[in-house]
Structure 1
Amino acid sequence: MARAWIAVASAEHVRIGRAQGFMQVCHGKSGPLRRTAAGDTVIYYSPAETMRGKDRLQAFTAIGTIVDRLPYQSEMAPGLLPWRRDVAWWTAAAMPIRPLLDQLAFTRAGNWGYQLRFGLFTIEPEDASRIAVAMQNGL
């Protein structure tokens, strides 16, 4: 059964992945990507516009479906070989998380920001549907 995931990265890095058709999480580690499967939905949450940036964004910035190719390494720079997974990105606009906080199961319980530190985690299908509708309809 397909699952839904929240991945965490700066909006700047998400745009690179969208443009090139891939996802990359946890600074290029392979382990988290190996938990995902073809057909799963991935939704990127971007706490900031840039990596380690103080430019607070707190928005869902991309949504797509993982395609049927196992994680692979790709050279970003000499000696830098992060692990990636291919994604068919959907047409969707960025959506701030704040208007959805009381509607999502993963944000209702206490400190919702804590689990974002893991870089990749599963969410309930209903949460994925709510986020998808908001991103596609600009709600």
Structure 2
Amino acid sequence: MTRYFLIAASRDHVLGGVKNGFAQAGHGRRDYISKPAKGDWVVYYSAKEKIDETTPCQKFTAFGQVTDDEPYQPDPNSDFKPYRRDVEYQPGQEAEIRPLLEKLSFIKNKKQWGFYLMGGFREIPKEDFEVIIDAMTN
């Protein structure tokens, strides 16, 4: 059964993953990125443009399908040892979150919607994934 995951990351980090064909969550946490299986889908939400800055983005920035079987570390000899997954990213444009809030069932309190994106990683219903992808592809 296919599952759907939302990963929160700054836009600059998302674009780096898209360029290199991988997904990473929680600054490389294995427990997060172990949850998707091959064939599952991920969508990224970016609250801000860059990790070390405060410029807001507040958009869904990329989506794709997991293509490998398990997490890996790209360079286990470096000081930074993130876990990643290979992802085949799909074409689409970035989509503002605010117009979608009323349609997203995982966001219960529409006034404090940012709370539901804290933590950086969560499984979402297929219907919510489809709402987001529709906004990104149409």
- Please give the residue correspondences for 1:113-128 in structure 2 after superposition, counting only pairs within 5 Å: 113-128=114-129
User: What is the count of residue pairs matched by the alignment?
Assistant: 137
Counterpart residue identity of residue 45, structure 2: Y
RMSD between aligned residues: 1.6
% identical equivalent positions: 38
Describe how 1:20-59 pairs up with structure 2 within 5 A: 20-59=20-59
Match of 1:88 in 2: 88
**1:5-62 per-position Cα deviation (integer Å, ceiling 9, x unaligned):** 1001000000000000000110111011111111111000000000142101100000
| Between 69-78 and 124-133, the greater mean CA deviation after superposition | 69-78
CA separation of 1:133 and 1:90: change in aligned 2, threshold 3 A: same
Shift of 1:83: 0.5
* TM-score under structure 2 length normalisation: 0.93
Structure 2's unaligned 5+ residue stretches are none
Which residue of the partner structure matches residue 64 of structure 1?
Answer: 64
Give the 5 Å matches for 1:95-106. 95-106=95-106
Are positions 1:131 and 2:132 aligned together? yes
CA contact (8 A) 2:68 2:85 kept: no
What's the secondary structure of 1:112's corresponding residue? helix
Are the equivalent residues in 1 in contact too, given 2:107–2:116 (CA < 8 A)?
Answer: no
Deviation (angstroms), 1:80: 1.2
Which deviates more from structure 2 when the two are superposed, residues 58-67 or residues 108-117? 108-117
Partner of 1:12: 12
Residue 102 of structure 2 aligns with an amino acid whose one-letter code is D
CA gap 1:69/1:133 in 2 versus in 1, 3 angstroms? same
Is the Cα–Cα contact under 8 Å of residues 39 and 67 in structure 1 kept in the other structure? yes
